[in-house]
Structure 1
Amino acid sequence: WQVFRFAAPALMAGNAALLKHASNVCGSALEIEAVFREAGFPKDLFRVLLIESGEVAALIARPEIRAVTLTGSNRAGESVGAAAGKALKKTVLELGGSDPYVILADADVEHAVQVTVQSRLTNSGQSCIAAKRFIVVPEVREAFERGVVERMKLASCGDPMLESTQVGPLARLDLREGLHRQVRESVAAGARLILGGEIPSGPGAFYPPTVLSEVKPGMPAYDEEIFGPVAAIIPVKDEEAAIAVANDTSFGLGAAVFTRDLARGEKIAKERIEAGSCFVNALVKSDPRLPFGGIKESGYGREL
């Protein structure tokens, strides 16, 4: 869907498009190319390039390329941004996120649990706009934490081709190893592991729904993007501390605030939270009617 999100407006505006896919999904990229071809688009209007990452900078420098958009890691963003800047090409970078979901004292806890867990498990936790950091005030912490654990525990893991599956495998085995390292190092630094956290036996890059509590600065679960089904619960003393923690990150993609006072929630979302978009009592999502993108190290520019 991210490919179509960039391609649809670009093609409608009269451009052609080239897709350099992630290194592990060339099959998906070729299927997308086939979709455009079978839909009747002119030949070569949308093409997939089966090239190595090391060839991208030279491609960007070619005069035929007028603009570049990337959805990917911050490391990839730095590389593409540098190449595009050197060649004076317009650029949109949609990079990582460590989206905070702030649970205030007057929140509907049951609703907050449902939404935050749904967001956290989107694409098995592999979404830049998934809930990453669950920031909760004392009044509702116990109920919220208990609800998150219960709901994560019920998530069905298995074959991603089955409609009933909620958590499938991660994209690669090395990504699972990196995720597990983040969990282990967070626990070693004092985080409390209250669900999951163990690599299952058997084939596939599966990782179980995992919940960490007592997450604090200095832990990977606080400082880094967690790209997998791991919820990091961060207790704070009050609303002001919650907002400060929400903004205490190099990322700024999305955020959400949960409160029964909609006017207050909208004020916090509009004026206090540092993010490209902030939702009230709802999960972060893109909408084809609105431009989408982040601030800070989550990138720059907006996708239509």
Structure 2
Amino acid sequence: MERSIQTVNPATGEVIETYPLMSDDTVNARVAAAHRAFERWKTTPLAERAKIVRRIGALLRERADELAELMTREMGKPIAQCGGETGLCAGICDYSADHAAEVLGDEQRDFDGGRGLISYQPIGVILGIQPWNFPVYQVVRYAIASIIAGNAVLLKHAPNVWGTALALERLFVDAGLPEGVFSVLLIDTEQTERLIENDHVRGVTLTGSPAAGRAVGAKAGACLKKSVLELGSNDAYMILEDADLDTAVAACVQGRIYNAGQTCIAAKRFIVVDAIYDEFRRRLVEQLAAIEYGDPRDPNTALGPLARADLRDNLHDQVRRSIDAGATCTLGGEMPDGPGNFYPVTVLENVEPGTPAYEEELFGPVAVLIRVADEAAAIRVANDSRYGLGGGVFAGDVERATRIARDLFDTGMINVNGYQMAQPELPFGGVKDSGYGREHGGFGMREFVNIKSVMITP
């Protein structure tokens, strides 16, 4: 009996499309085709690979409206935020094309008795297991780095955004990428686990939950295959006594509600020193209270629905359990009536260690306010998390804030006096339960290559 997956519009509950799952035979055939494509693609000169990647970026810009419509329909992203996602992806393509020769070029090093050549060689087929929250960016982030390095790429995308996945497959081919170098697999979790065992799959990258990361990392390790894991976070933003509150509040509001808060590097915990807590709280709650959810197709909508009903249910359960454990719900916190997976902007205070709002990632528009005595306490609370992806520091003394960010914040990425998301020029990735490995900034190009030493004796 043929199995299938339905995609559902999260704003209306209406079924969009039904996709049959691929059979194991089809999957195996696609993997074999990807390996054959890799054998040809790896011999393609780097300059030619860069040209194709640049054309992918150009097509992303040309098809931005088409992709925006898909993202809004499939996962509820406000239409006004979709252009930023495709623009970032095009920028990643441009950066990769501009810098691939520098990052992947051969290096010469002398050693006692000879000279060495260091070469960065592609290794084969790379499997990407990606989530739905940034349906285009999550794909481009890992795929472009591997493709320009000479690898072939498989995509196992989240089922609720399979329409976007297939649109990207068409776009890559239309840009001139040879058939098989980038392939979409419409498969379930069990098929994905078996796929990691395939001899042609040489590496695995996942963006998802810590539980998914443990499973995929363990499976890849058992097969002696490299993995890169990006596993979300509970990012802390510290607001110190000399911070510019206008700047801090505006950035924290944006960082909390962008993409309905469904962002691994969203601003989630706001750790505020006692001296300015009341004023920061007043301004933050005032601005958040003015944000209402609405139709994501409306360009004026800032807050759309959560991507799936189960995600909204889980978020609400975290909020209620936190309140039951003593947290104060200052704003929101009630499940809305009516169609769609909407959830109101919510603010929780008086959050204590051991509660969901303190310990867990709240993947939705829920802000957690934590009052602390001073800078030392703020740093301690910020680092009191099993996660370590992003975060931020707001202070009038930029050198002080930069010192804290560089030396004391136990995360892979930190903002100073602002809220910035991923940048093509800078490495992206975390520590602790947020995973390992890096993407962007050229670092992703070297994750799945054979760093080969050639020792030449005169």
Q: Normalized against structure 2, the TM-score is what? A: 0.65
1:196 and 1:167 mapped to 2: Cα distance?
A: 14
Q: Which amino acid aligns with 2:289?
A: K
SS in 2 for 1:25: helix
Residue 131 of structure 1 aligns to a residue in which SS?
A: coil
Q: Percent identity?
A: 54
Give the superposition deviation at 1:139. Answer: 1.0
Question: What's the CA shift for 1:284?
Answer: 4.3
Distance (whole Å) between structure 1 residues aligned to residue 317 and residue 369 of structure 2: 18
Contact 1:254 1:278 in 2 (8 A): yes
- 1:158 alignment partner in structure 2: 294
Structure 1 regions of 5+ residues with no counterpart? none
- CA–CA distance in structure 1, aligned partners of residues 215 and 167 of structure 2: 27
Is contact 2:387-2:434 (8 Å) kept? yes
Aligned residue among 26, 45, 53 for 2:189:
53
Aligned pair partner of 1:39 in 158, 175, 197: 175
Query: Which one has a bigger Cα radius of gyration?
Result: 2
List aligned pairs for 1:1-304, cutoff 5 A.
1-304=137-440
SS of residue matched to 1:85: helix
> How many Å separate the matches in 2 of 1:84 and 1:289?
29
* Post-superposition offset of 1:55: 1.3
Q: Secondary structure at the match of 2:409?
A: coil
Deviations 1:46-104 (A, max 9, x none): 11101111111221111111111111111111111011101111111011100000000
- Cα RMSD, aligned residues only: 1.0
Shift of 1:206: 0.4
Distance 2:377 2:427 in 1: 30
More helix by share: 2
Q: Runs of 5+ in structure 2 lacking a partner?
A: 1-136, 441-458
- Contact 1:10/1:17 (CA < 8 Å) preserved in 2? yes
Q: Structure 1 stretches (4+) deviating beyond 4 angstroms? A: none
Which amino acid in the other structure matches residue 180 of structure 1?
H
The answer to whether the Cα contact below 8 Å between 2:292 and 2:344 also exists between their aligned partners in 1 is no
Residue identity matched to 2:306: L
Q: 1:254·1:284 contact (CA, 8 Å) conserved in 2? A: no
Give the conservation status (yes or no) of the 8 Å contact 2:159–2:186.
no
The answer to whether the 8 A contact 2:156-2:186 is kept is yes
The alignment's TM-score, normalised by the length of structure 1, stands at: 0.98
